[in-house]
Chain A
Amino acid sequence: MLIAVLVSFGVAAVAPWIVRVVGDRSGWLLALLPAGVTAYFLTYLPQVAAGESVLERTAWVPSLGVSLAMRMDGLSLVFALMIAGIGTAIVIYAGGYLRGDRQLPRFYLLLLAFMAAMLGVVLSDNLISLFVFWELTSVTSYFLVGYKHEDETSRKSALQALLVTAGGGLAMLAGFLLLGIVGGTFEISALLSDPDAIRQHDAYLAILVLVGLGALTKSAQWPFHFWLPNAMAAPTPVSAYLHSATMVKAGVYLLARMSPGLGGTPAWFWLLTTAGVLTMIAAASLALLQRDSKRLLAYSTLIALGTLVTLIGVGTPGAIAAMVVFLVGHALYKAPLFMVAGSVDHEAGSRDVTALRGLGRAMPITWATALVAGLSAGGLPPLFGFVAKELAIEGLVTAPWLLAGLIASSAVMVLVVYLVVWKPFVGREVTAPTPPHEAPLSMWIGPAVLALIGALLGIAPWLIGDGLMVPAAAAVLAELHPFQLYLWHGVNLALMLSVLAVLLGGILIWRWRGLHDGLRARTTHVRFGPVAAYDATMAGLVRFAAWQTRVLQSDDLRHHMTIILGFAVVLTGATALLRGDLSVSLRHETGFFYEYIVLVLVAAAALSIIRARTPLVAITALGVAGFGIAVVFVFFAAPDLAITQFLVETLIVIIVALALIRLPLGALRGEAAVGVRLLSGAIAIVGGVLMTLLTLAVTGVPFDATLSAFFEAQSYPAAQGRNIVNVILVDFRAMDTLGEIVVLAVAAAGCYALLRRVVGTGGESPKRDERAAPGRGEGA
């Protein structure tokens, strides 16, 4: 199974070259990949029908418990066949739809990569590798939605889809990690084999919510539904494939997959059914506002997704059976409907259902396809959609309020079908922005075949019943519950409710125009709800980011320095109070009078630099302090140090003086406000006191002189030197000295580079940036 995924990725990677070589007909050639993959997965059918599941293990990152294990059971097979099968139709269709498009090579790369990733999602038996493929579908979706990237709406929609699904994905990852920790493994089959360990764990609710967030965002459940209609900015093949048949069902897949482990609890029931029903209702209401055929279909997809999630939430054998059948039914009619809408857009120039009329004559095959798929979508016999809906109604009879939601949204479904497959096609007079004509073969063959399969399965649902649907439901339920699929159930409650839905749909069709215009007029100024929340979050994020950057990122070095030193002082001081025992015992010191004089002199010099108003005073004070320290070194038997300090101090005074000649007089002016000075002063004083206390505390501890004793003992015998300090510098610790002279060398190079009178041309030739004010200021 992994091989199918990898081969698909491989073909995706070379697809751009294939397209360049083969040209316009490359769609047909590339369709061999999904077709072949479909055939490959069909070979698993006998085993799966026999109730077996096939496990394949491949190591990836064993140290983290991550493998590329793949498992094939009924649920995976249904999804894999849908992904590859519909993929075949889509790849062919896209060849016609995007004929001659400059970006077609990239498009195929992304589309096939998406297919591979999606296969990975439904086959993975490891939570982490599932997540990897999951995120890959989000990324490929991002690029596909943003296909018309030069258009701002496309870019925004792509970003929205990515952020919503990736945000949910991250929550899901947290849930997965938790699940892995609770269950001790990331292998899904192992986790699901012991569901009670998960369900009875304290973290169960957290896991459910986190994993649920991932699934619900991906499957566009309320309140995260809004990204899906906006994703219709993508080219139609993408909408048909990712945003109706496959990717949006990844969330459904995940919930179904996890249902044996996470399902069966009240929390599960309430979370899923609430989300599902709210999605159905919200989508049904919002669909009334639409007249764009793709957006209409998008909202009807939302209704279907809501139905699926609700059914999983209910979780009874009947509901699950309905779920798997509805899943297939929906894929078989929704993908053709999208493609038909795309063909109409392509050949007649519009997706506005009110702007089109009488296309049926010019596009007979397209219309026929639309009708077959549409009747299935409307839940009318003898099509597979009817079978699916009957089952769904039966599955929900135990929960009347869920059933009510389903019936209401089914009615809207009927309206959508009318608007998409009937209204634009009927009539003698042709109304269309461009003269319509039939779509080319590549664009009708795929939808037509899918619609026909839907019709065939409607008449003979048993074809896939025992072989595929029952094992799929068994995978979700974790036990076998055989059921039979019939087109005709006899006159029962389900049928009557079904008729009711169609009647309600008829009323909606009859009153549509008034309802539509009225609702539109009333909702144009709505400023709340999930979309507004998303927009507000994004705007707020940017505003907050700008605000905090402005506050924290002043351009003034002094502010930086104050914050940094303030933090340092507070951190160290607080630690000293909380943890430290800076018990400083004052020791009896035997100092000489002249030593104290020098020390006081140095301190006074340092303090006078603060007070200095002219550079000359400051330099003088600096010199005094420096030479004073040299004298201190003399007092305490450090001749080398004293000489060095003396020489360096002299040089620094000279260099400062040389520099000062070039700085304006009164260069020390520019005092800050009193408050600022007080703050700096406080930080400085606390810092100084801390340093004194630390030095005292440290010197209060008995000194370990092992190192120095070694140097004294070895300096002459082993290193031939009598000046121990020098021996340390050039032998014992010569590496320090080597670094030290490197610092000097670079400092010299730096001064040279700074002072040379050359122009830094930059490696770049003059470009736009330089003509305006360079660099800064563009930031905030």
Chain B
Amino acid sequence: MNSIILRTASQLLLTILLLFSLFLMLRGHDLPGGGFIGGLVGAAAVALYAIAFGYRAAQAMLRISPRMLVGVGLLAAVAAGFLALLQGQAFLTGQWWIIGLGEGAELKLSSPLLFDIGVYLVVVGTVLTMVFALEER
């Protein structure tokens, strides 16, 4: 797949899809989406890149091994559960920090969000690990 169009297109697509996947994840609490769906789309973005440039290039672009992503994601999810323990509440109890940004806009930071980010990372890492491992052969 050495077509320049594809390469250019996939670079563009990569950016758009990655952003879209983050968007899907972040809005998941209120609308269809969430860590899993977002993660799949994100993984698809990188996988597409890998198909266009080879998995080595994709890995280099990522800078971090997909297996590491999995580990970090797991850590994030478990950590989200631990936040509640610090407050003396049960494991995985939702913690919310709502920061007003003025004019009615607000930023909702929360442990469920962190949890969902963990899910996102694990999904991206998992799918990429699988795809890279299959591609490698």
Contact = CB atoms under 8 A, between A and B. Distances in A.
The reply to whether A and B meet directly (CB within 8 Å) is yes
Contact of A744 (B33, B123, B131, B137): B123
Contact of B41 (A639, A647, A731, A734): A647
B29 A723 contact: yes
A723 B32 contact: yes
Contacts, number: 127
A658 B135 CA distance: 8
B112 A723 contact: no
A642 B10 CA distance: 26
B118 A723 contact: no
Contacts of B40: 644, 647-648, 651
A651 B71 CA distance: 22
Among A639, A647, A648, A742, which residue has the most Cβ atoms of chain B within 10 A? A647
B95 to A, nearest CB: 11
Interface in A5-50: none
Interface residues of B, number: 45
A756 B129 CA distance: 11
A752 B129 contact: yes
A743 to B, nearest CB: 9
A521 interface: no
Majority secondary structure of chain B interface residues (helix, strand, loop or mixed):
helix
A640 interface: yes
Contact of B70 (A643, A644, A735, A748): A748
Interface string A719-739: 111110011011100110110
B134 interface: yes
B77 A738 contact: yes
Contacts of A658: 131, 134-135
Contact of A749 (B28, B67, B136): B67
A747 B123 CA distance: 11
Contact of A730 (B29, B73, B123, B126): B29
A744 B73 CA distance: 11
Contact of B96 (A720, A727, A729, A742): A720
Interface string B4-25: 0000000000000000000000
B60 interface: no
Contacts of B135: 658
A640 B34 contact: yes
A697 B125 CA distance: 42
B54 interface: no
B34 A752 contact: no
Given A730-B29, A744-B122, A748-B126, A723 B134 contact: no
B92 interface: yes
B105 interface: no
A735 B92 contact: yes
Contacts of B30: 721-723, 726
A730 B67 contact: no
Interface in A653-682: 655, 658-659, 662
B28 A726 contact: yes
B60 to A, nearest CB: 18
B108 interface: yes
Contacts of B136: 755
B122 A719 contact: no
B37 interface: yes
B122 A662 contact: no
B100 to A, nearest CB: 15
Interface string B32-56: 1111110011001000000000000
A745 interface: yes
A723 B35 CA distance: 13
A542 interface: no
21 contacts: A644-B37, A655-B131, A658-B135, A662-B137, A719-B112, A720-B29, A720-B108, A721-B30, A721-B112, A726-B116, A727-B112, A730-B115, A738-B115, A741-B74, A741-B119, A742-B74, A745-B70, A747-B130, A749-B70, A751-B130, A755-B133
Interface of B: 28-37, 40-41, 44, 66-67, 70-71, 73-74, 77-78, 81, 92, 94, 96, 108, 110, 112, 115-116, 118-119, 122-123, 125-127, 129-131, 133-137
Given A658-B135, A721-B29, 18 more contacts: A639-B32, A644-B36, A647-B40, A647-B44, A648-B40, A651-B127, A658-B134, A719-B112, A723-B33, A730-B116, A730-B119, A737-B115, A738-B77, A738-B92, A741-B119, A745-B74, A748-B127, A749-B70
Interface pairs A-B: 7 shortest CB-CB: A748-B129, A722-B30, A748-B126, A755-B133, A721-B29, A639-B32, A741-B122
